[in-house]
Amino acid sequence: MLVGAFLFTSNVFAETSGNSSNSEDAKKGELIVSIETDSQDKDTLNSMDNDMLSSKSLNQQGFDISDSLVNSIQTKATTMSDDFQANVVRQMGLVYLVEYSKEDYESKEQAKEELEKTLKSMDKNVRYIEENGTMEAFEPSTETVNPTDIHPDQEWHYDMIQAPEAWDTTPGSSDTKIAVLDTGIDNDHQNLSDYVDIDAGESFVGGDTDDVQGHGTHVAGTIASYGEVSGVMQEATLIPVKVLDDSGSGSIYGIVEGILYAANEGSDVINMSLGGGGYDQSMEEAIETASSEGTIVVAASGNDGMENVSYPAAYDDAIAVGSVDSSEQRSDFSNYGPELEVVAPGENIYSTVPGNDYDTLDGTSMATPHVAGVVGLIRSADPAISVDEARSILAQTATEAGSENEYGNGIVNAGDAVAEVSNGNGGEDPENPEKPDVPEWEAYTFYEAGDVVTYDGEEYVCDIAHYSFPGWEPPNEPIYWSIK
């Protein structure tokens, strides 16, 4: 049993067959619970955590706390600042993974009701109780391709997003960290090994971060690779955060862990080519927390071909990515809707797979790393650029492709996005442009009605045309000037 702090554990989602649970696990149900607290004091939080972890009341009702979210990050992360811990608790409360026996409760609803009742009897303010559901890696089809066809197969989609134009400005940077939340990464792959930071990586499904299933390695190669193949970034640091097991599945709680872990590691970008299920408050708050830490979250819209963007892409703080084919048409399988932000190539995408091999895959899973790579290039060009600025640049520079409902702002454009950053534009909102520079008031100057000047830090509008003289400063001449 955990003592003294906070901890996470995991199971994650993937669009593949198979189930890693054993028969004993199948008898267990899992709930995610968040307890509200106004305290940010570390000692107080530890005391509250110990109270939960050692509760006899919970055990008597058949509940067992198997994990405490912040403690999990503290345990797995190299370092974790007090500020980061405080931000997690402020955004999410104290979050726990709670197990119960399905033999004791007829339904998960009954278990939720009893858990809430027990916690309230312990004077705990329950924010929410949710089922620990599952998600899937979006991967509808595969097609083996001869490695000699690598370059022709990659050219069309990199040309579409104008990646070569971006590379003229920046190929990326090893200082730019991209966390791949997936099935792991084959860190021995000849086109990835120099970029994969296994020391910074972590598995939330047991074992190491190596990729057996293949989905994560393919995604990683599209983000950043070298040699015979090229990613959208030609230089980067890839952090493998394994939240999907070798069958490609895992839990909500495990992905929440992975998101916060990646943010704590200082990731510039998180790529989540996964999804499934409905709204989950713990995941939404984890993404919000990562965003508040400066991490840009990119997620796949889903492969159902429906007007319904999947979670986690549908959360406000995630960049939802759809797929287009080589003709710049929305892929039949690509989900769409008002939450869609941008689209990218997602059909017949050639990239790395385990065992020094290559393959083509289809899916919004394949489109998403294109966008993650472009965001990585933006951060490489300007490491200080904010999350909101980066999203604004993506929207402004995207190539129009069709209706906003089906294509969002359009096809991501690496060349124009990087050019926008290198030109010093930090993502100005076209609907709320920055104010132009306002000149200082000067004597011996003719001003027309409507002219705007600055004097002593205040802006003034000229009401009557006149020629100014010393002593006629705007505060002294209200007949000519009014405060803007």
Q: Are residues 44 and 167 in the same domain?
A: no
Q: What is the pLDDT of residue 28?
A: 82
pLDDT, mean of residues 130-139: 86
Q: Which of 365, 380, 392, 468 is catalytic?
A: 365
Q: Which domain holds residue 107?
A: 23-133
Output the domain CATH number for residue 241: 3.40.50.200
Q: Are residues 103 and 142 in the same domain?
A: no
Strands 249-251, 318-324: pairing kind:
unpaired
Q: What is the pLDDT of residue 140?
A: 56
Q: Are residues 335 and 373 in the same domain?
A: yes
C-alpha distance from residue 451 to each of 145, 439, 441, 444, 468 (Å)? 65, 10, 10, 15, 13
d(CA 236, CA 174): 4
Domain boundary (98, 133, 168) is at 133
Q: Are residues 207 and 250 in the same domain?
A: yes
Instruction: Look at residue 35 and tell me if it is in a domain.
Output: yes
Q: Which of 215, 251, 268, 380 is catalytic?
A: 215
Q: How far is residue 348 CA from its own chain's centroid? A: 24
Considering only CA atoms, which of 330, 323, 321, 363 is closest in space to residue 345? 323
Q: How many domains does the chain have?
A: 3
Instruction: Look at residue 18 and tell me if it is in a domain.
Output: no
Q: Are residues 124 and 146 in the same domain?
A: no
Domain boundary (133, 154, 172) is at 133
Q: What is the pLDDT of residue 15?
A: 36
Q: Is 47 a catalytic residue?
A: no
pLDDT, mean of residues 225-241: 94
Residue 150 has pLDDT above 60, yes or no: no
User: What burial letters (b/e) apply to 396-420, b meaning 16+ CB within 10 Å?
Assistant: bbbbebbeeebbbbbbbbbbbbbbb
If one counts every other C-beta atom within 10 angstroms of the C-beta of residue 320, the result is 31
d(CA 471, CA 143): 79
Domain boundary (110, 133, 156) is at 133
Q: Is 365 a catalytic residue?
A: yes
**What value does the mean pLDDT of the chain take?**
87
- What band does 8 get if pLDDT is binned at 50, 70 and 90? very low
Instruction: Look at residue 5 and tell me if it is in a domain.
Output: no
Q: Are residues 454 and 321 in the same domain?
A: no
- pLDDT more than 90, % of the chain: 68
Q: Which of 49, 67, 153, 182 is catalytic?
A: 182
Instruction: Look at residue 434 and tell me if it is in a domain.
Output: no
What are the tokens at 406?
Answer: 């089906």
- For residue 195, give every residue at least 6 positions away whose Cβ sits within 8 Å of its Cβ, in sequence order, or none: 174, 224, 225, 226, 235, 236, 237, 238
Q: What is the pLDDT of residue 425?
A: 61
Q: Are residues 117 and 210 in the same domain?
A: no
Residue 39 has pLDDT above 80, yes or no: no
Q: Are residues 123 and 150 in the same domain?
A: no
Q: What is the pLDDT of residue 152?
A: 67
Q: Are residues 150 and 129 in the same domain?
A: no
Kindly report which listed range (33-37, 82-86, 113-117, 339-343) carries the lowest average pLDDT score. Answer: 82-86
Q: Are residues 380 and 406 in the same domain?
A: yes
- What band does 380 get if pLDDT is binned at 50, 70 and 90? very high
pLDDT, mean of residues 86-114: 92
User: Are 347 and 138 in contact, with CB atoms under 8 Å apart?
Assistant: no
- Most confident residue range from 15-24, 47-56, 272-281, 362-371: 362-371
Strands 172-182, 141-143: pairing kind:
unpaired
Instruction: Look at residue 432 and tell me if it is in a domain.
Output: no
Q: Is 215 a catalytic residue?
A: yes
The neighbouring-strand residues paired with 181 are: 241
Instruction: Look at residue 16 and tell me if it is in a domain.
Output: no
- What band does 254 get if pLDDT is binned at 50, 70 and 90? very high
Instruction: Look at residue 11 and tell me if it is in a domain.
Output: no
Q: Are residues 105 and 217 in the same domain?
A: no
Instruction: Look at residue 10 and tell me if it is in a domain.
Output: no
- For residue 279, give every residue at least 6 positions away whose Cβ sits within 8 Å of its Cβ, in sequence order, or none: 311, 314
Backbone angles phi, psi at 345, to 5 degrees: -55, 130
Q: What is the pLDDT of residue 27?
A: 64
Q: What is the pLDDT of residue 10?
A: 30
Structure pTM?
0.80
Output the domain CATH number for residue 467: 2.10.10.20
pLDDT digits (tens, 9 = 90+) for 420-446: 998 876 544 444 445 557 899 998 888
Q: What is the pLDDT of residue 268?
A: 98
C-alpha distance from residue 371 to each of 260, 310, 311, 384 (Å)? 21, 17, 17, 19
If one counts every other C-beta atom within 10 angstroms of the C-beta of residue 88, the result is 26
Q: What is the pLDDT of residue 182?
A: 98
Q: Are residues 350 and 460 in the same domain?
A: no
pLDDT digits (tens, 9 = 90+) for 292-303: 999 999 999 999
Residue 211 has pLDDT above 50, yes or no: yes
pLDDT digits (tens, 9 = 90+) for 48-60: 888 888 888 899 9
